[in-house]
A = this chain, B = another copy of it.
Amino acid sequence: MATIQDVAAAAGVSTASVSRHLAGQPVRTADAIARAIDELGYQPNISARNLRTGRHAAIGVIVPDVTNPFFAALIKGVQQEARAAGVQILLGNSDEDPAQENALIGELSQRTDGIIIAPLVEEGRSATDVARLRMPVVFVDRESRERREVDRVMVDNLGGTRLAVEHLAALGHTRIAFIGGPLTSTPGRQRHAGFLDTMREHDLMVDERLVVIADFRESGGHDAMHALWREQSRPTAVFAANNVMTLGALRALDEVGARVPDDISVVGFDDLSFATLLRPPLTVVRRPEVEQGAAAARLLLDRVDGDTGSPPVSVTLAVELVVRGSTGVARPDDGIDRG
């Protein structure tokens, strides 16, 4: 590989001039340098540059699962902003394992200028570890509970859940079930709280047996729905707190032969690209997924670019209810105790 010295020699200038030319600064001998670079096929050694500058021109993104459509979309948003900023992305997949998440934070922190973390569960040492990190961090969907306050991009979990529950209430449902995620996670906690609050606001009884805390996974939603269906007194509607749990719930309902929305109405949190292709099309709370990734990246890149002084900000994105076919009016004979 040709080095900057080779280019300098070929162009008859100093390495400093080549370096300046590379940095876009005006140089008299720009033409000669450009020619030399071209002829030699010169490409700067990034490691040397990074060592010298103490920067990486790269950011890290840590998600629980790339194959979850939401996180895939999030990554896409980060990519868009990163590309525009000329920054590369190091991707970490934690497999929903706090230990792996921590390991990834440690590894990526040595190779990047900042990290975007979308945690599923807020356990382990990550909170303290992040506090020790001397680099910009942006959290996605995570309340700040760390010593060090960091930037965050949140989604309106309470509002979204309210939208969903009020929609069901307006359809006449009273026995509304909730399939939630771990209360150790921000989305899990906020959507759970939103559910309880909205139910109470509308004077709807919250039957504890209809509130199932699962794990944000497809299998969790599946098992939770089966459990709900076994209840003496079944729900006439169910709100599932994330995309894949909703899918799991639908699978369970399919297995027991329940008809949606005739036997039970279903609303999910987070849209799916194929939601309209499901039968019936799925009613969901939709958030701007790609935008959330882009917003996180923008926040991070601002910090990386030197804005380290201003206080941490928290951006909350709005959601909307998309009513499709999986929700319908409560049947008059619904909610009857089958005992």
Contacts and interface: CB of A to CB of B under 8 A. Distances in A.
Interface in A1-26: 1
Interface residues of A, number: 49
A58 B91 contact: no
| Copies of this chain per assembly | 2
A256 interface: no
19 contacts: A43-B110, A47-B47, A47-B50, A47-B51, A47-B56, A50-B51, A51-B51, A58-B111, A67-B76, A69-B69, A79-B91, A88-B90, A218-B273, A247-B274, A250-B277, A251-B276, A272-B274, A278-B279, A279-B279
Interface of A: 1, 41, 43-48, 50-51, 56, 58, 61, 65-67, 69, 72-73, 75-76, 79, 83, 88-93, 100, 106-108, 110-111, 132, 134, 218, 247, 250-251, 254, 272-274, 276-279
Considering residues A218, A251, A272, A274, which has the most beta carbons from chain B within 10 angstroms of its beta carbon?
A274
Contact of A76 (B41, B45, B66, B247): B66
Contacts of A90: 58, 88-91
A320 B218 CA distance: 24
A275 B31 CA distance: 58
